[in-house]
Amino acid sequence: MKETLTYSGTSVRGLTKEIEILVPWGIIAGKVLGDSTNPPVLCIHGWLDNCNTFDNLIPLLPADKYYVFIDLPGHGLSSDFPPGMFYTTFDYAALVYRLANYFEWKVFSFIGHSLGAVIGAMFAGSFPEKVDKLILLDEVGFFPINAGNEVKQFRSTVVNYYKHESYDKPSKTYSYQDAKKRLLKANPSLTGETVDVLLERGARRLENGMYEYRRDRRHIYQELYAVYAGNVLDFLTRIAAETIHIIADNGVLKNQEPNLTELFNSYFRDGFNNCEYYGYIEVKGKHHVHLCHPERVIHPMTSLLERPLRPGLRSESSASKL
């Protein structure tokens, strides 16, 4: 099936265009910002969020880039993976490769929040020649599985996915205010206003006036998003992109068990030694600081994005075919 892209309106106060990219299992939905002949930047959101997570950053981003914001499969307005399939970090990294091929990007930059940062780090470590700049928001770059837990987690995931296939109850529905309260309770790093931003793509209004969440229920089984801890450095040490971590001082990495904190510290210390430029910045805020307080993260993001193409990369056209 040939992949095609269509435009369907505008959003974010007219700054962005909505897009749909046809893929073998349905569509990848998202939006784009800027001139497609400018250097491209792919932006991917976190687990159970959607591409609106970047909405408050959009007016502040450097204007001389071409930004593509996508909803991951099973999130927002994008199609779910087919029944019987799993969601894994490997599949998501493969999607990045598919998108780069679609847009005919020789080289591009990447902004990822949480799960999106994991996807970005995996892709940048696997294809170091393709990623120029890498911005990782409140995530070291991987969710590690501690030694000895791989078999247990894989078994649990397989069992739960098969249980899900026999789950025939309809999705729960809520009033808008109840849907908002529920999402806010599950994500204390959000605010009432920013929950509204995510629900624009993350909830669907039904004919009876009630709402249901737009996300594949298979996502509640997260185990296959993780990578065995012993393999994480194999990916991180191969990243050549100019990289910055922007870490919230009250985010997910600062609220881990002590053993995980030490493991993450080892990744920061040992995992990015091959980057041609590297920065680590802590900002005041919680896990969604980029959405709730974009002014706190935009300066280091802009400083990196405005650096010239890193040495060693081909400077031939990396522009989109659009």
* 189: CB partners within 8 A, 6+ apart: 248, 251, 285, 286, 287, 288, 289, 292
> Are the beta carbons of 18 and 168 closer than 8 angstroms?
no
Q: What's at 29, amino acid-wise?
A: A
The alpha-carbon radius of gyration of the chain (Å, integer) is: 19
Put the strands of the sheet holding 242-248 in their side by side order.
5-11, 16-23, 26-33, 66-70, 40-44, 108-113, 131-137, 242-248, 278-283
Active site residue 11: no
Of 11, 78, 79, 114, catalytic: 114
Q: Compute how many other C-beta atoms are within 10 angstroms of the C-beta atom of residue 6.
A: 10
> Are the beta carbons of 238 and 125 closer than 8 angstroms?
yes
Catalytic residues: 114
